[in-house]
Amino acid sequence: MKAEVYFTWGEVNEALVDKRTVVVMDVIRATTVIVEALANGARGIFPTESTDEAARLASSLGREETLLCGERRGLKPEGFDLGNSPAEFTPEVVEGKQLIMSTTNGTRALLAAEDASRVLVGAFLNLSAVAEAVGGEENLVLLCAGKDQHFALEDALCAGALLMMLTREREDLTLNDAARVALDLARRYPITADTLRSTSAGEALTELGLERDLELCASVDRHAVVPEMKERRVYLPNPRKRSQGSGRRTP
Amino acid sequence: MKAEVYFTWGEVNEALVDKRTVVVMDVIRATTVIVEALANGARGIFPTESTDEAARLASSLGREETLLCGERRGLKPEGFDLGNSPAEFTPEVVEGKQLIMSTTNGTRALLAAEDASRVLVGAFLNLSAVAEAVGGEENLVLLCAGKDQHFALEDALCAGALLMMLTREREDLTLNDAARVALDLARRYPITADTLRSTSAGEALTELGLERDLELCASVDRHAVVPEMKERRVYLPNPRKRSQGSGRRTP
């Protein structure tokens, strides 16, 4: 398997993702939120590039079945239903809803990957499920969202943790420089809220009083789901794989 | 000191370098070449964005005192005098000459930094001299050129090695995520031609038959010079600091 990591969404283009499976990671917090929301019964999530586009899409889909969610500078934009704290996305709130999401880095990373043959969503929350889903790939791209176009340690650690799992299954991994570094970092940093707190994104969140989000962001394998994006909508292709205890009733 | 590392030239803009000293690093091979050439007596180096711009500038400066140098895909462009192997830049070849340089990553990184208050050129070749030059800064940016807009391990190691030197002098370093990772990597990878050979850029160079360049690229503190860029020209502000043994005679 050839596994390439990119540390920022800005550095990928169509040629780099073409005919590849791409796993998009934005641990703090967009992809954590996506995994949590879908595992808790949301029907689908539409990533959008701007808050304006999000509002327009909400109008066209109908406001009753949709929730606007996301952040700008870490906080809920005006007029939005939910912010970007994973704990907001409980079964009571999201079950059966379509979510329209606009965040600074994560949703842009998803859209940057949209020309890939398969776009999956990864976070510490669903690490083993993603590793299982991509274990048979020959060309894998792990796209870290990064922070404002720069390297973000937490996303590199998530990519590295996924590579650690893959190295246990396969001996034929070929890594680019970034993948090599991500794997190296993951082998030495524990996945804990403290580790996340020490990152630039974790510090920013702590300053906003949202530090408790980090506990949930660091919850490895909380859900056995693998969200996939098709035609700009993220959903669970195989809802039977939804984790136990997510509170979602079978429809 | 606040020290920020950026892993690719594409992610910096005027605001990020404004009022800061920026050290640009492209170990394989542009900044290695710049240090070597200036230490060996070149009068100045003009980084240019394209081979066309390089050719035009050479015509306007006069071809007799100038040398066109650089690479595309690792090799000397047609019509150029020199490629991008540091060993080509001997005193016999470069003394007293103006060099016009066009490379894929390094010269673009220099130009990306041009709005900084001070732009310095770093490589393993002049690590201690650069560390001494920036030791008193309050806001330092280490700009890794990277490879084709992606993370390059050798540049991260060079930035980290510089940070290691600075941590010995100062206890007040504040690091961004990338700086933290660069420092962490530098503490564990030896600076050798073997390490460089294992990187993506080193592998590409080896495939081109230019592997021996890596020995020179890994020569720590070969020269005690700190090239600086002003108005798109890189030169030595203090030529008396030129290293011994560079073969250059005092003018």
Q: What is the CA radius of gyration of chain A?
A: 17
CB-based contact, A152 to chain B, within 8 Å? yes
The residue in chain B having the minimum alpha-carbon distance to the alpha carbon of residue A198 is B177
Structure tokens at A88: 């907001």
Sheet of A66-70: strand order equals A66-70, A98-102, A44-47, A233-235, A228-230, A118-122, A21-25, A139-144, A2-6, A174-175
Annotate B195-237 with DSSP letters as a single string. Answer: HHHTSHHHHHHHHTT-TTHHHHHT-TTS-----EEETTEEE-S
pLDDT of amino acid B63: 83
**pLDDT at position B250:** 39
pLDDT digits over A70-86, tens only?
999 899 999 999 999 99
Average pLDDT value for residue range A234-246: 67
Q: Is A186 on the interface with B (CB under 8 A)?
A: no
φ, ψ dihedrals at B181, nearest 5°:
-70, -40
Cβ contact, residue pair A181, B185, below 8 Å: yes
Q: What is the residue type of A210?
A: L
B150 and A177: CB-CB below 8 Å?
yes
Task: Kindly provide the residue ranges of all beta strands, DSSP E only, lying in A155-204, ordered along the sequence.
Answer: 174-175
Specify the range with the lowest mean pLDDT, choosing from A8-12, A51-55, A97-101: A51-55
Q: pTM here? A: 0.93
Quote the mean pLDDT of chain B: 93
- pLDDT band for position A47 (cuts 50, 70, 90): very high
Tell me, yes or no, whether B185 lies in a domain: yes
Evaluate whether residue A204 is within a structural domain. Answer: yes
Q: Is B101 on the interface with A (CB under 8 A)?
A: no
B242 belongs to a structural domain: no
pLDDT confidence band for A238 (50 / 70 / 90): confident
pLDDT at B62: 86
CA-only gyration radius of chain B, Å: 17
A118 falls within a domain: yes
Distance, in Å, from the CA atom of A158 to the CA atom of A180, rounded to the nearest integer, reads 13
Q: Where on the phi/psi map is residue B79: left (φ > 0), alpha (ψ -120 to 50), or beta?
A: left
**A61 CB-contact burial (10 Å; exposed 0-12 / middle 13-18 / buried 19+):** middle
**B126-152, pLDDT tens digit by residue?**
999 999 999 999 999 999 999 999 999
For residue B247, pLDDT over 70 is answered with no
Top residue of A2, A9, A150, A174 to mutate, by most chain B CBs within 10 Å, is: A150
Q: Report the chain A residue with the minimal C-alpha distance to residue B6.
A: A150
Q: What span, in angstroms and rounded, lies between the C-alpha atoms of A62 and A98?
A: 10
Partner-chain residue, chosen from A7, A185, A199, that has the shortest CB–CB distance to B151: A7
Q: Measured between CB atoms, does B180 come within 8 Å of chain A?
A: yes
Q: Which of A119-128, A223-232, B44-53, B151-160 has the lowest mean pLDDT?
A: B44-53
Q: Which of B16, B177, B199, B205 to mutate to test the interface with A (most CBs of A within 10 A)?
A: B177
Please list every residue in chain A whose beta carbon sits closer than 8 Å to the beta carbon of residue B176: 150-151, 200
* CATH of residue B17: 3.90.1560.10
Task: Choose from A177, A181, A198 for mutation: most chain B CBs within 10 A.
Answer: A177
Q: What is the per-residue pLDDT for A240?
A: 52
Shortest CB distance from B177 goes to which of A5, A152, A178?
A152
Residues within 8 A of A (CB atoms), B 190-209 only: 199-200
Is B47 part of any domain? yes
- Torsion of the alpha carbons at B69, B75, B81 and B87, rounded to the nearest 10: 80
CA distance B149 to chain A (A): 6
Contact A177 B8 (CB under 8 A): no
In a domain, residue A238? The reply is no
* Residue pointed to by tokens 């003018």: B251
Query: Average pLDDT, stretch B60-67?
Result: 90
Task: Note whether B187 contacts A: Cβ–Cβ < 8 A.
Answer: no
Our count of domains for chain B comes to 1
pLDDT at A169: 86
DSSP B189: S
B117 has pLDDT over 70: yes
Q: Does A235 touch chain B (CB under 8 A)?
A: no
- State ipTM: 0.91
Q: Residues of B with CB below 8 A from A149's CB?
A: 11
Is pLDDT at A250 greater than 70 in this prediction?
Answer: no
In 3-state terms, what secondary structure has residue A189?
coil
B-chain CB neighbours of A178 within 8 Å are 150-151
Decide if A177 touches B, using CB distance below 8 A: yes
In a domain, A250, yes or no: no
For B78-104, write each residue's pLDDT tens digit. 999 999 999 999 999 999 999 999 998
With an 8 Å Cβ cutoff, are A181 and B180 in contact? no
Average pLDDT, chain A: 93
- For residue A21, give its domain range: 2-228
The answer as to whether B244 is a domain residue is: no
Q: What is the pLDDT of residue B245?
A: 46
Which residues in chain A are contacts of B5 at CB distance < 8 A?
A: 151
pLDDT greater than 60 at residue B42:
yes
Q: What is the pLDDT of residue B240?
A: 53
The terminus-to-terminus CA distance of chain A in angstroms comes to 38
